[in-house]
Amino acid sequence: MNPRASAAPVKPKAEKRQITSNRRARHEYHIEESFEAGMVLTGTEIKSIRAGRVNVQDAYARIENGEAWLFNMHVAPYEQGNRANVDPLRPRKLLLQRGELRRLTGKLQTSGLTLVPLSLYIRSGFAKLDLALARGKKLYDKREAIADREARREADRVLKGRQTDTRGAGG
């Protein structure tokens, strides 16, 4: 008899519910690698995040005293929170594994990289942040990316036009 047959079935990874994303980060930075980080939040903050009242556009992360911190993420005060609400822009501690923290610290000190949040989502009831190790783009890089995107759109437009023309003429 197979010993694995009696084992409990493998549970699939919990689905994640996207709350917000930082589209500007992909435009202004070259993303080298990304990490998933948890956050230390208060009760009213998580309720406000679940309601989608959060902004990560101007947020950034730093490592201070061996801990990762997220700055400038705006979490709107929870409407029913009264006294329990905290400062909307307070620094929030990020939860990363020790090895990841050490590796990030080394990379941030040696090269011109920065930590930028890409997206915020809820998975298994916990708020998670996609954090990217990124290098800032130069102006010509941004122009090149825009030109590539425009060329792709134009090619798709031409290709789509041909497909509709050939179908219409053959019928």
| Ranges in the chain, pLDDT < 50 | 171
Q: pTM of this prediction?
A: 0.71
Encode 134-151: b = buried (16+ Cβ within 10 Å), e = exposed: beebeeeeeeeeeeeeee
Instruction: Write the Ramachandran bin of 110: left for phi over 0, alpha for psi from -120 to 50, otherwise beta.
Output: alpha
What's the pLDDT at 86?
85
The 10 Å Cβ neighbour count of residue 18 is 11
The residue with tokens 């930028």 is 116
What's the pLDDT at 169?
54
Q: What angle do CA 75, 81, 87 make, to 5 degrees?
A: 40
Q: Pick from 119, 122, 118: which is nearest to 47 by CA?
A: 122
